[in-house]
């Protein structure tokens, strides 16, 4: 009986651990500090050599808020055409892809598994702590061209945050358009506009 109870407890613990991975509760982003803007602009660059070190949850929260979080009621850190807010941010880890819920400041599991093969052939994507995938909701966008322009604003936010925090990043359009969208289970009204690797430099 004792062994049965232990087995049940272990099984329940395993289920609980799996359930925890479905949603990652992020700490509140820190919105003060960092380098002065002109210093960050001066330090902004593309980096392709990553150490493989993971981001802690506080840094991840700060990064995602800077990327396209809400900095006032219903308004974001990056502009969008006609305020459509049509760009969604997905965070790709080595073991799964999460949707960034900016309203709730949470990461919600979207697809399990290592999908980095869809990011392209560059080896450094596997050394980055995360790869951000920007996806346009074409039903919300004023037009397709505007969605790509709005992605550029968001990508620059990532660059400036990384320059401020000593992280490396590189934006890339050379992902696999044949592999990535189906791997992410996107609809025909969703389009990957850009991917961006982020991590600690070597």
Per-residue pLDDT, 14: 46
Selected from 3.90.600.10, 3.40.50.720, 3.40.109.10, 3.10.20.30, the CATH number assigned to the domain covering 24-199 reads 3.40.109.10
**Listed residue (68, 81, 78, 69) closest to 28, CA to CA:** 69
Domain edges within the chain: 24-199
Given a cut of 50, the residues of the chain with pLDDT beneath it are: 5-7, 9-20
Note the pLDDT of residue 53: 98
- For the chain, what is the total number of helices (H) and then of strands (E)? 5, 9
pLDDT of residue 137: 98
- Give the pLDDT score at 77: 99
Quote the pLDDT of residue 163: 99
pLDDT of 21:
86
Return all residues near 38 (Cβ < 8 A) that are at least 6 apart: none
Which pLDDT belongs to residue 3?
Answer: 53
* 149 vs 172: CA distance, rounded Å: 14
> Closest Cα partner for 115 from 182, 51, 196, 192?
182
């Amino acid at each position: 009986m004792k062994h049965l109870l232990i087995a049940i407890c272990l099984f329940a613990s395993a289920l609980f651990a799996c359930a925890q991975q479905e949603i990652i509760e992020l700490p509140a982003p820190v919105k003060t500090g960092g380098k002065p803007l002109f210093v960050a602009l001066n330090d902004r660059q593309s980096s392709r050599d990553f150490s493989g070190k993971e981001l802690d949850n506080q840094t991840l929260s700060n990064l995602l808020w800077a990327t396209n979080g809400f900095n006032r009621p219903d308004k974001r850190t990056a502009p969008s055409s006609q305020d459509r807010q049509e760009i969604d941010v997905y965070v790709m880890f080595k073991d799964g892809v999460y949707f960034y819920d900016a309203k709730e400041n949470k990461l919600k599991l979207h697809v399990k598994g290592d999908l980095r093969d869809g990011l392209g052939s560059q080896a450094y994507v596997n050394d980055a702590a995360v790869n951000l995938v920007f996806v346009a909701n074409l039903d919300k966008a004023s037009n397709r061209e505007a969605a790509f322009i709005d992605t550029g604003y968001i990508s620059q936010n990532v660059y400036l945050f990384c320059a401020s925090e000593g992280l490396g990043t590189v934006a890339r359009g050379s992902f696999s358009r044949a592999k990535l969208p189906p791997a992410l289970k996107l609809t025909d009204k969703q389009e990957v506009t850009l991917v961006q690797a982020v991590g600690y430099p070597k």
